[in-house]
Amino acid sequence: MFVARIPPSNTEELQQYLSDEFKKIEIAIQNIETDSICLTQLNVAPEKPRDGYVYYADGTNWNPGSGAGLYEYIGGAYAKL
């Protein structure tokens, strides 16, 4: 888990501080492990969907084609997963 340190007030130490913090962020990202994800159910289509993104449609106000569920946006269309 990444926890940021307080930045130095001395600008000469700032470069080393930033280098250390970026390295800690990189390590934290590489070590992310999860056994689940949680998607927010959407009741409107995303404004700018992108290929490969997965969305959770409510199926009522926003129905991409086959009711409520998970949809991947591929080549300008939604495919239910």
Per-residue pLDDT tens digits for 27-62: 999 988 888 889 999 999 999 999 999 999 999 999
Per-residue pLDDT tens digits for 4-24: 999 999 889 999 999 999 999
Tokens of 8: 């130095």
Alpha helices in the chain (DSSP H): 14-30
Residues 28 and 54 in one domain: no
Assign residue 14 a region (left: φ > 0; alpha: ψ between -120 and 50; beta: otherwise).
Answer: alpha
- Pick from 41, 79, 40, 77: nearest CA to 60: 41
| Count of the separate structural domains present in the chain | 2
What is the pTM (predicted TM-score) of this model? 0.63
Q: What is the pLDDT of residue 18?
A: 96
C-alpha–C-alpha distance, residues 26 and 23, integer Å:
5
Q: Average pLDDT for residues 53-80, to the nearest whole number?
A: 97
Q: Which domain holds residue 15?
A: 1-33
